[in-house]
Amino acid sequence: MNRKTKSKIEVTLIYLFFLIMFIIIGYPLFWAIMMSVNPGTNMLVTDLFPSNPTLEHYIWLFTDPRSDYLLWYKNSLIVAILNSLGSVIITSLIAYAFSRYKFIGRKYGLYLFLLLQMFPALMGMVAIYILLNTIGLTDSLWGLLLVYLGGQIPFNAWLVKGYFDTIPKELDEAAKIDGAGHLKVFWTIMLPLAKPILAVVALFNFMAPFMDFLLPRIVLTSPENYTLALGLYSFINDQFSTNFTRFAAGAILIAIPIALVFLLLQRYLISGLTSGATKG
Amino acid sequence: MTNNQAEKKTGLSAPRNIATLLSVLVPGLGQLYNRRLLKGFILLIVSISFLVTTWDYIDIGIWGLFTLGTIPREHHSIQLLLQGLISLIVLFFGICIYAYNILDARKDAKTREEGKPIPTLLEGISNFYDRGFPYFLILPGLVMLLFIVVLPLLFMLALAFTDYNQYNSPPRNLLSWVGFANFTDLINIDIWKNTFLSVFTWTIVWTVVATTLQIILGFFLALLVNDKRIKFKRTIRTVLILPWAVPAFVSILIFSALFNPTFGAINRDILSHFEIMIPWLSDPFWAKIALIMIQTWLGFPFIFALFTGVLQSVPADMYEAADVDGGTRWQKLRLITIPHVLFATAPLLIMQYAGNFNNFNIIYLFNEGNPAVRGQNAGGTDILISWVYKLTFETNNYNMAAAITIIMGLIVMGFAFFQFRRTAAFKDEGERY
């Protein structure tokens, strides 16, 4: 009896704690949504529950001739799709080599990847800018894409290599005995079996251009080349208090699709991360 | 017969040594001597064209790397430095081809000494394809990695030993190598010393406190959700992961507005009930508190998701055994759960610390590292990386920024060192091959 009530109190406390967490998590997001339906741009008169909610900011984003929102969306989408495809191709090739072949420099290559993934791209930002400048790719989405593709290699190659290692080696040996070549083994055995981790890599690199702020800020200068993150920041960068409502509307339109995709795929994300990093 | 003869020959006249020597002198010659004609010619052509196309570039590059130019306005030190570093990379590839050529000649000569037949053209090609295959796979990625990641890092490394800043910049001036002067300035000149010390200590406090809070909260929530008596697990998990799912720059900017002292909801809607006004953005102490709270909010879902996965893998019989022995809940947690979870996730946790150490986004987007602090050239909430950003892009103190980057790099290497030791993937390296 005594024990039962104790347990009940515990469970209630746990639920209470979850409730507090839900409020802490939900409040900022809810506040942003409410801000986006506040009329006008003066933050001092905004209300958490506006008396006359409006969609004017959303409509402005899509219809106003001064709005570059759709252009930014297109830019981000182009970079995201190419980045996701390109990174899957490059990293899966590298990971295949590191997982299945023995070659000179293999071990040091792995150490290099592990080391490089801790160095943020910012550390070499000046040089990246000068390099892009010399090949004429500053203020260009291609330049941005190139830096993304190169920068993702250490982390993702390591992740995919970890996953490839869990695929039994006997499979490709058997295929080789049956006469399959190197590329055929890669194409018909490794790639199909590694689909989950490749999906993770594709997703990560698809989302990166939507979320990254720093690199576009350094590489891109003209507003028609902005990606979404940069464009949205420009709403509030100059006159913070006056355009936050518009920023909120634009931000929500990115956050919702990304969050949905993310929540749908979170199980793969986590299993991919852990299988790559905590093996053994 | 031929075998015996070959074995008798030692010293310089042994075929293997002749082939090696020939290849050392002229790439490809050793292969020709071994009657591997196609391979020999290809190597010969490759090395000649390598020399012809890159000689001038490398020559100027290496010269530039040492002198950084001699005539102001005509020689651009930065471009010379970059060319020098690229030359080093190209040279490295050249040396690899050269070394391959020598080893290959020696190996072929050996097989010939042993009297094995010379492989036919087709066999040779398929051999080359077989053994070269992994290199073909990594080549495109490796080239990108070298030019986009490694080269910029080398460039920063080099900048730290030059005098490149806004008053001394090409093409008007030439740069020169100054040795460790930037590092000694960092310790000796008051404004740099004060700034460095305060930014450095805050960076450490930030990294340790924010990440640890994140881990503790994530772990605690994972334990609670894992409790057998809790229902609606899926829903609870989904909500708890939400902060991870929303793009971080969006949430940080939302928080930045929430904490804004004039119109932010935290002061206006919540704290005003208690008659409190906190200067979240203008007081360094409160800005730091806000940053740590925001980072905890942003970072705990990842840890939570990670631990939720790992908790389910703790063997149930261990708990049963503990129950039999009369272990309390606290003992089970301390002696079974925590060690198991930490062991399984240590590399990822170290990555979290490393990630926060370099967490530029939150510092910059929340308040751009502000408020300004008297007597130092970094803002009150600047961590090393955001300070480096400001030094580079706002005040053009490239040399100091590079020097600080190197110090950061050393610290990051410390993280990496722990990572190497802990990463399980390396343990079975020997058994695998």
Residues of A in contact with B155 (CB under 8 A): 124, 126-127, 130
- For B168, phi and psi rounded to 5 degrees? -125, 80
Pairwise CB contact (< 8 Å): A116 & B149:
yes
* Residue A84: both structure tokens together: 């996701």
Quote the ipTM score. 0.85
> Which of A29, A115, A127 minimises the CB distance to B156?
A127
Provide the pLDDT for residue A276. 53
B297, A24: Cβ pair inside 8 Å? yes
* Closest by Cβ to A21, choosing from B240, B364, B429: B240
Residue in chain B lying closest to A36 (CA): B254
Do the Cβ atoms of A93 and B138 come within 8 Å?
yes
B250 touches chain A (CB under 8 A): yes
Report yes or no: B360 at the A interface, CB cutoff 8 Å.
yes
Interface test with A, best of B57, B81, B82, B137 (most A CBs within 10 A): B137
Mean pLDDT by 10 residues, chain A (280 residues): 84 93 92 86 72 83 84 91 94 91 84 80 79 85 91 87 85 84 86 86 86 85 87 74 79 88 77 55
CB-nearest to B156 from A17, A126, A232 is: A126
Is A61 in contact with A232 (CB distance < 8 Å)?
Answer: no
- Chain A residues within 8 A of B347 when measuring between CB atoms: 277-278
Domains of chain B, CATH where assigned: 2-159 (no CATH), 181-424 (1.10.3720.10)
- Distance separating alpha carbons of residues A96 and A100, to the nearest angstrom: 6
Closest-approach residue (CA) in chain A for B153: A124
The reply to whether residue A123 touches residue B423, judged by beta carbons under 8 angstroms, is no
pTM of the model: 0.83
Burial class (CB in 10 A: 0-12, 13-18, 19+), A2: exposed
pLDDT digits (tens), chain B, 433 positions: 344 444 445 666 777 888 888 888 888 888 888 888 888 888 889 889 988 988 888 888 888 888 888 887 788 888 888 889 999 999 988 898 888 888 888 888 888 878 777 777 788 788 878 888 888 888 888 888 888 888 988 988 898 898 888 888 777 788 888 888 889 988 898 889 989 999 999 999 999 999 999 999 999 999 999 888 888 888 898 899 899 888 888 899 899 888 887 777 787 777 777 877 888 888 889 999 999 999 999 999 989 988 888 887 778 888 888 888 888 888 888 888 888 888 778 878 888 898 899 888 899 888 888 888 877 888 889 999 899 888 888 888 888 988 998 898 888 888 877 776 765 444 444 333 3
Q: By C-alpha distance, which of B18, B138, B363 is closest to A154? A: B138
Tell me how close the Cα of A35 comes to any Cα of chain B, in angstroms.
Answer: 10
User: What residue type is assigned to position B127 of the chain?
Assistant: N
Residue type, A116: L
Give yes or no for a contact between A162 and B347, defined as CB atoms under 8 angstroms apart: no
Q: Over the range B244-275, which residues count as b (16 or more CB within 10 Å of their CB) and which as e?
A: bbbbbbbbbbbbbbbbbbebbbbbbeeeeeee
Contact (CB, 8 A) for B358 and B386: no
